Structure 1
Amino acid sequence: MQASQRIDKWLWYARMAKTRTLAQKLAVSGHVRLNKDKVSAASQTVKPGDVLVVTKGNHQKILKVLQPGTRRGPAPEAQTLYEDLTPPPPEKPEAKAEQREPGAGRPTKRDRRQLLQLKRVKQFDTS
């Protein structure tokens, strides 16, 4: 087994990109940092112990390379190539349902049923 590997190949093996071509574009476009330095070429090599920061859209992953890949296998096999150092996202406060004042705004389904029931009762009490 080799001690180092091209960064585009490693990104593809680790399933950070769907195709090898997309992995090359990701590396060259400046969305990948290798040990705090921007990757300038897809042929740059990674070795065990290197830290990669991969930015895709609004998401950023911090990965520590554990071993070079040998093939693009299933996801559990790909996860053995790296250690995910990405901090967990901050917890959002749980939004509770807002309580509204009775009679304010549009009637709820429950309110409409009660109104209909009242109207039915009044129709039969017309004696």
Structure 2
Amino acid sequence: MPTHPLFAATLGAAVAALLASQSAIAVQDEDIDFDTTEDLYQVCSVEPGAPEYVPASFACRGFIHGAVQYHDAVTDRKKLKPLICYPKSVTIDDGRMAFLAWAKKNAGNETLMNETPVVGLVRALAEKYPCK
């Protein structure tokens, strides 16, 4: 999920505007946690229109983007076998949707949902975009 300069600039401007806004929604640390895959699922599944949608959406997208960017950098630099092989056309939102579908399917699996969120995310993306 390559970084597009326009996306990075837009995201940065949106976050700055959100933080500077007098009417910005106050998000407490306990509102957005990334301790487990279940936490990531809860943050990423906040629906548009919910009061916490904007910060949750940015948090979800940022987590996915950071995790995938790290995966790509490590596997490229260290010549390691990649775990995720997505087409160049895949977007962060595509990754979010893949994660949400995987998490919904595995919501009853306490072992998977209690793993660290990066493990759950990589499992979901590797299932959607397997390497051959």
TM-score category, normalised to shorter length: under 0.3
Higher RCO structure, 1 or 2 (CA under 8 Å, sep 6+): 2
TM-score, normalised by the number of residues in structure 1: 0.24
More helix by share: 2
More strand by share: 1
